[in-house]
């Protein structure tokens, strides 16, 4: 990420820079989100204090509960403020959960390819070992990470982690929420170590403003869905044009592509070499190695970007 961001492509100021298609950022609604925050963000004197404590303001926690109660989530029992804990991003939530739930050296099953942040979030402080489980298996048994396999039907065994920043196209606003209706002790444990992940009151206020603006939300998600769908269709058309195999995407701003035929050998080292060759040609996409792919040669392309930039990146 460092080399790509330090020499980032810009059509006007740096056309010879590196086109970044390797970060899981959704840029399709940046204008709308920036405009809303600039016109609605209201900071009070209380915003300059420690406020309601280290797990988000009461207003934000209630706003998240209301949002989940009144949208597609619609829990069987309405969420309450006390069942929402907010920290400075989902990485902070995962880190705190691992620290509170696991002993050093214990393992957590992760289906792979996996979210790259899981590795550092689980390992760095808690010392938890990620146990990677392949999705590619024939014949396909019940997957060991599924609810059916582990019989996690007790409410206390099922947790939800909510990350508002991807849905609202604002990865830089570091906020994430742990939501559980049946684990008051776990909420208390996270609160006890939460000062290391205290969310910013400015980010808190910005997210509150969005979640409480019914008029804005009434059109926001429809527009986002339309743009994301159009960007995906544009991306797969380009991939087909360049004869690049891919796995159809069903959610999110990125797609999994197979570049194994361009490897000098079926090894991780060859995958790294191909990645550096692409960077030398001014395009960066994420390697499968970073996501613990089952086989070398897979890469992840983020398509929720400007159309012309996506075209240029795939062309390069």
State the pLDDT at residue 185: 96
Residues 73 and 93 in one domain: yes
Range of the domain at 286: 2-25+217-315
- In a domain, residue 31? The reply is no
State the pLDDT at residue 103: 96
Sole residue written with tokens 């810009």: 10
- In a domain, residue 32? The reply is no
CA distance 205 to 199: 10
Q: What is the mean pLDDT of residues 30-50?
A: 95
Q: What is the mean pLDDT of residues 42-57?
A: 95
Sign of CA dihedral 138, 142, 147, 149: negative
- In a domain, residue 273? The reply is yes
Residues 1-34: pLDDT tens digits?
556 567 899 999 999 999 999 999 999 999 999 9
For the chain, what is the mean pLDDT?
90
Residues 18 and 51 in one domain: no
CA distance 196 to 87: 9
Chain CA centroid to CA 255, Å = 14
Tell me the whole-structure pTM to 2 decimals.
0.88
Residues 71 and 191 in one domain: yes
SS3 269: helix
Q: Which residues contact 185 (CB under 8 A, 6 or more apart)?
A: none
CATH of the domain at 231: 3.90.1150.10
Helix 30-40 / helix 201-211 crossing angle, nearest 10 deg:
110
Residues 208 and 225 in one domain: no
State the pLDDT at residue 228: 96
Q: What is the mean pLDDT of residues 208-235?
A: 95
Confidence band of 36 (pLDDT split at 50, 70, 90): very high
CATH of the domain at 49: 3.40.640.10
Confidence band of 71 (pLDDT split at 50, 70, 90): confident
Residues 229-284: pLDDT tens digits?
999 999 999 999 999 999 999 988 999 999 999 999 999 999 999 999 999 999 99
Total count of domains within the chain: 2
- In a domain, residue 227? The reply is yes
Confidence band of 151 (pLDDT split at 50, 70, 90): low
Residues 282-310: pLDDT tens digits?
999 999 999 999 999 999 999 999 999 99
State the pLDDT at residue 147: 52
CA distance 73 to 216: 19
Q: Which element (helix H / strand E) includes 19?
A: strand 19-20
């Amino acid at each position: 990420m460092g080399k790509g961001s330090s020499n980032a492509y810009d059509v006007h100021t740096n056309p010879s820079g590196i086109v970044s298609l390797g970060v899981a950022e959704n840029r399709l609604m940046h204008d709308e989100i920036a405009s809303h925050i600039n016109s609605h963000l209201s900071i009070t004197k209380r915003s300059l204090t420690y406020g309601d404590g280290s797990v988000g303001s009461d207003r934000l926690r209630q706003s998240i509960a209301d949002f989940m109660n009144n949208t597609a989530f619609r829990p069987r029992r309405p969420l309450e403020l006390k069942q929402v804990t907010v920290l400075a991003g989902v990485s902070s939530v995962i880190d705190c959960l691992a620290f509170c739930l696991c002993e050093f050296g214990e393992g957590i099953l992760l289906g792979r390819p996996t979210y790259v942040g899981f590795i550092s979030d689980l390992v760095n402080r808690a010392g938890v070992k990620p146990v990677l489980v392949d999705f590619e298996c024939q014949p396909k048994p019940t997957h060991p990470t599924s609810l059916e396999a582990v019989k996690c039907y007790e409410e206390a065994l099922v947790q939800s982690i909510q990350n508002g920043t991807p849905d609202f196209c604002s990865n830089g606003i570091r906020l994430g929420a742990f939501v559980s209706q049946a684990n008051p002790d776990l909420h208390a444990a996270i609160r006890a170590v939460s000062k290391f992940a205290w969310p910013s009151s400015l980010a808190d206020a910005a997210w509150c403003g969005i979640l409480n603006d019914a008029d804005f939300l009434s059109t926001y998600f429809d527009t986002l869905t339309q743009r994301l769908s159009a960007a995906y269709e544009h991306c797969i058309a380009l991939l087909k044009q360049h004869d690049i195999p891919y796995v159809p995407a069903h959610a999110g701003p990125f797609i999994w592509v197979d570049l194994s035929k361009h490897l000098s050998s079926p090894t991780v080292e060859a995958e790294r070499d191909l990645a550096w060759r692409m960077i030398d040609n001014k395009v960066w996409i994420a390697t499968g190695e970073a996501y613990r792919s089952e086989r070398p040669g897979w890469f992840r392309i983020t398509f929720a970007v400007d159309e012309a930039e996506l075209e240029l990146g795939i062309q390069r």
